[in-house]
Chains A and B, each alone.
Chain A
């Protein structure tokens, strides 16, 4: 069975400080992992994806994530938060054998000026 746990429902950071959004996954197969961002009243946008290539994945807007199989984690980071990063972030797992996505419960990121 596949599942995703986002360890923090809310994260608050000051502008210019690092961002860490935590995600742990469970998968019976080799997973593909994704981070999506959802700004208020907007659609979901793909930030980055891991699909069994390099374990450190770089995405858009300065975000990156590291796949750690031993820890079953795929945490999202950014060195310096910007006000425009305030949004809801979803960690998603998929499996090689299909196209089904399993969403985490989401982490709401607040950026304080």
Chain B
């Protein structure tokens, strides 16, 4: 398995501001992912964070709104830019080691409220 931490665990932000969420893994991993879980909903993949290259975004998510960094094999950040109340969600990062049957391990999540 992998131990994943996220910072902050929760935050309340004002409309129009930006928040950067950090994801740290206790060992090197190939793949890192960012998900959004809106209130009472399932998880939706935002993007795959690739080390050494730009992130790959899913339909409906764009880099200007959710810029992602992946400077090394144990760390990634997701920024939620120009926030609106609709961005209020739990944001989760997950990791996967290629060759480990593709199972993903999830961080505890960051609960974001935008007022």
Q: Shortest distance in angstroms between B60's beta carbon and chain A's nearest beta carbon?
A: 15
Contact string against A for B residues 70-96, beta-carbon threshold 8 Å, 1 for contact and 0 otherwise: 000000000000000000000010101
- A-B contact number at CB 8 A: 48
CA distance A88 to B68 in the complex (A): 28
Q: Which residues of B contact A44 (CB under 8 A)?
A: 43, 92, 94, 106
CA distance A34 to B92 in the complex (A): 18
Q: Which residues of A contact B104 (CB under 8 A)?
A: 46, 99, 101
Assess the B43–A94 pair: CB atoms within 8 A: no
If the complex has contacts A32-B102, A49-B101, A99-B98, are A105 and B42 also in contact, measured as CB distance less than 8 A? Answer: yes
Q: Which residues of B contact A34 (CB under 8 A)?
A: 103
Assess the B106–A104 pair: CB atoms within 8 A: no
- Say which residue of A36, A99, A106 sits within 8 Å of B102 (CB atoms): A99
The total of chain B residues at the interface (CB under 8 A) is: 21
The total of chain A residues at the interface (CB under 8 A) is: 19
Report A1-30 residues with CB < 8 Å from chain B CB.
none
B48 within 8 A of A: yes
CA distance A43 to B98 in the complex (A): 22
Contact string against B for A residues 69-100, beta-carbon threshold 8 Å, 1 for contact and 0 otherwise: 00000000000000000000010001010011
Contact string against A for B residues 40-65, beta-carbon threshold 8 Å, 1 for contact and 0 otherwise: 01111100100000000000000000
Report B13-63 residues with CB < 8 Å from chain A CB.
31, 33, 41-45, 48
Q: List 14 A-B contacts (CB under 8 A).
A: A32-B103, A42-B108, A43-B109, A44-B43, A46-B104, A51-B101, A99-B31, A99-B96, A99-B104, A101-B45, A101-B104, A104-B42, A105-B42, A106-B42
Chain A residues engaging chain B, CB cutoff 8 angstroms = 32, 34, 36, 42-44, 46, 49, 51, 90, 94, 96, 99-101, 103-106
Chain B residues engaging chain A, CB cutoff 8 angstroms = 31, 33, 41-45, 48, 92, 94, 96, 98, 101-109
Q: A42-B108, A99-B104 are in contact. List 8 more A-B contacts (CB 8 A).
A: A43-B92, A43-B107, A43-B108, A51-B101, A99-B33, A99-B96, A99-B98, A99-B102
